[in-house]
Amino acid sequence: MYSPNEYAFVNALIEKRDLKDCYTKVETVSCIFDLLWRIYLDFYAQLNPKMEVFIERKQKLWKEKRESKHIIYVIKNMFISKSSRVVFEARKYVYDGGITTHIYPKGKGSHYNLTMAIKNGHMNNVAYILKKNVVANANAYNKVLFNVIIDYFEKKYGGADRENIDEKWKNRPMTGCSDEHYLLALIAHLSANEIEINNSVMVVVPRKEELLYGTKIES
């Protein structure tokens, strides 16, 4: 799931031990935005949906001039944000060889087991079912799973702007992340307690001395 150097950076970030340590450790990893997207989906997407657009914007700026300040911005704002291990732990369960955790009564629909796992909050089972059903590089097929998920939550919470939702799927920006990972994070977010979700668009600006870090960051 993560290399040793990536794990060191992730732990420093999630445990919020020392921000300077995060800036130092990120210089030991490569494909930094691929890593930041994985970290976002694993630890931040559930409770910080607005961060997705922020990371996307910083990635575009990074691609233009390769200025490390854009990475420092993302790290700083991740560091101060509330994280959740729900997606990470469910992914790790499957990664470590975990199998189905619950057997559900037979029901209608080809993805009945997925909706039952979501309904009952069985996230390890959700991750296992997605692992079995998501097909790599098969956008049209995986879009069907996306629609099943949105249909379930639309029935649960009420109407939704399907046009904008479809655009969100079409334009999902996560580089280096699988549809399986994206869908798992989406389910975790839509299942979260609304009170815990941070919908703020406020961005914390790093201090001048912080922007001096990251000069050895690889693209």
Q: CA distances (Å), 63 to each of 54, 56, 58, 59, 74, in order?
A: 14, 11, 9, 6, 14
* 171 three-state secondary structure: coil
Which residue do the tokens 């109407």 mark? 159
How do residues 127-162 score in pLDDT, each as one tens digit? 999 999 998 778 888 899 999 999 999 888 876 677
How do residues 62-77 score in pLDDT, each as one tens digit? 999 888 899 999 999 9
How do residues 50-107 score in pLDDT, each as one tens digit? 999 999 999 999 999 888 899 999 999 999 999 999 999 999 999 999 999 999 988 8
Here the tokens at position 146 are 């996306």
Asked if residue 89 lies in contact with residue 122, where contact means CB atoms within 8 angstroms, the answer is: no
How do residues 159-213 score in pLDDT, each as one tens digit? 667 777 888 888 887 788 999 999 999 999 999 999 999 998 889 999 888 887 7
Rg (CA), the chain: 18
**pLDDT recorded at residue 141:** 83
Which sign does the torsion angle of CA 201, 202, 205, 206 carry? negative
**DSSP classification of residue 205:** P
- Cβ partners under 8 Å of residue 17, min gap 6: none
Asked if residue 131 lies in contact with residue 159, where contact means CB atoms within 8 angstroms, the answer is: no
How do residues 3-32 score in pLDDT, each as one tens digit? 999 999 999 999 998 999 999 888 888 889
Q: What are φ and ψ of residue 43, in 5° steps?
A: -125, -20
**What gap in Å lies between CA 114 and CA 143, rounded to an integer?**
14
Neighbours of 206 (CB within 10 A): 18
**pLDDT recorded at residue 159:** 67
Which residue do the tokens 């445990």 mark? 15
